[in-house]
Amino acid sequence: MEIGDWPTTEAEAVAAQERLRGAADATGPGPGPEEARTVAGVDVAYADSRSGDGEGGGSLLVAAAVVLDVATLEVVEESVHVGTSTFPYLPGLLAFRELPSVRAALDGLTHRPDVLVCDGYGLAHPRRAGLAVHLGVLTGIPCFGVAKTPFVSRFEEPGRERGAWTPLTLDGERVGRALRTRTGVKPVFVSVGSGISEENAAALTLRLTPAYRLPETTRHADHLAGRRLAKELGEPDGPDGPGGPGGPGGPGRAPAAGSA
């Protein structure tokens, strides 16, 4: 979907997801830890989560995309996008709140990552159209989601050790895995978005969690977005003062308005 038919209301967003559910690539196994050279994680930080945005404008937000080398887990490239929210947070419609800014952050990358990882869901969604499905279809890059809570899905508690997992189900369908990334710690919820198999998504998730419950990609993107947001809030006029030149230091886009 292009900017032209971007949903404005909840009803339009739901309809868009129902059309999207068939557009996802459910056949491609995509790359696993051995095939993928790079993986990009994306996340968004908000200055004001509650009012989000009203009818008039939107609150400040920062989207971040961080590319990691799968073999070494070292940061290859970073990109941030500073903008404003154009859609409120509504359960099941997170994609419409985060997609515009996430896309902008991804556009700032010079690398085209082999895989995309995002917070939230892919198929583990009421209409099988979570953020990872939207992002995978939009970019054409294999994408999956790793969420911290199961939302509407259900699962049996997996074994206590790292690597243990159980099926995530929704309406009697398999929608992902409850995967233990750290021994003795609550599991994460992995679900495919588009262009990658559940097996490869789970294998990559384990590859990306050598030390923490959440993937390094998510951690890096989360921290980058948070640091940049704090900087924006603390220095509204930038390090060079009012009217001064100097754009955003290093990687990063200039502030971009969300709407006219």
Partner DNA sequence: GCGACAG
Partner DNA sequence: ATCTTGTCGC
Judged by CB under 7 A, the residue of 16, 39, 44, 143 near DNA is 44
Residue with tokens 């309809």: 15
Concatenating the DSSP letter of every residue in 68-118 gives EETTT--EEEEEEEEEE--S---TT-HHHHHHHHHHHHHHT-SS--SEEEE
CA distances from 220 to 48, 66, 214 (A): 21, 7, 10
Residue 237 assigned to a binding site: no
Number of residues that bind DNA (CB under 7 A): 29
In the bound complex, what is the minimum distance in angstroms from residue 180's beta carbon to DNA? 16
What is the C-alpha to C-alpha distance for residues 114 and 259, in angstroms, rounded to an integer? Answer: 31
Site string for DNA, 122-161 (x = CB under 7 A): ---x----xx-------------x-xxx-xx---------
What is the C-alpha to C-alpha distance for residues 35 and 162, in angstroms, rounded to an integer? Answer: 22
| Segment lying near DNA (by CB under 7 A), choices 4-12, 46-54, 199-207, 236-244 | 46-54
Q: Which is nearer to DNA, 121 or 155 (CB)?
A: 121
Residue 222 assigned to a binding site: no
Q: Within 73-102, which residues bind DNA (CB under 7 A)? A: 89, 91-95
Closest-CA residue to 27 (of 136, 113, 190): 136
In the bound complex, what is the minimum distance in angstroms from residue 11's beta carbon to DNA? 15
Contact 177, 190 (CB under 8 A): yes
Q: Which is nearer to DNA, 35 or 39 (CB)?
A: 39
Residue 115 in contact with DNA, rule: CB under 7 A: no
What is the C-alpha to C-alpha distance for residues 189 and 202, in angstroms, rounded to an integer? Answer: 9
CA distances from 48 to 82, 118, 199 (A): 14, 21, 37
In the bound complex, what is the minimum distance in angstroms from residue 152's beta carbon to DNA? 7
Q: Which is nearer to DNA, 71 or 126 (CB)?
A: 126
- What pairing do the DSSP bridges indicate for beta strands 75-84 and 115-119? unpaired
Q: Find the angle CA(204)-CA(205)-CA(209) to the nearest 5 degrees.
A: 115
Q: Which is nearer to DNA, 9 or 110 (CB)?
A: 9
Annotated binding site, which residues?
Answer: 43, 119
Annotated binding site for Mg(2+), which residues?
Answer: 43, 119
Binding site for DNA (CB under 7 A): 43-46, 49-50, 52, 89, 91-95, 119-121, 125, 130-131, 145, 147-149, 151-152, 222, 225-226, 229
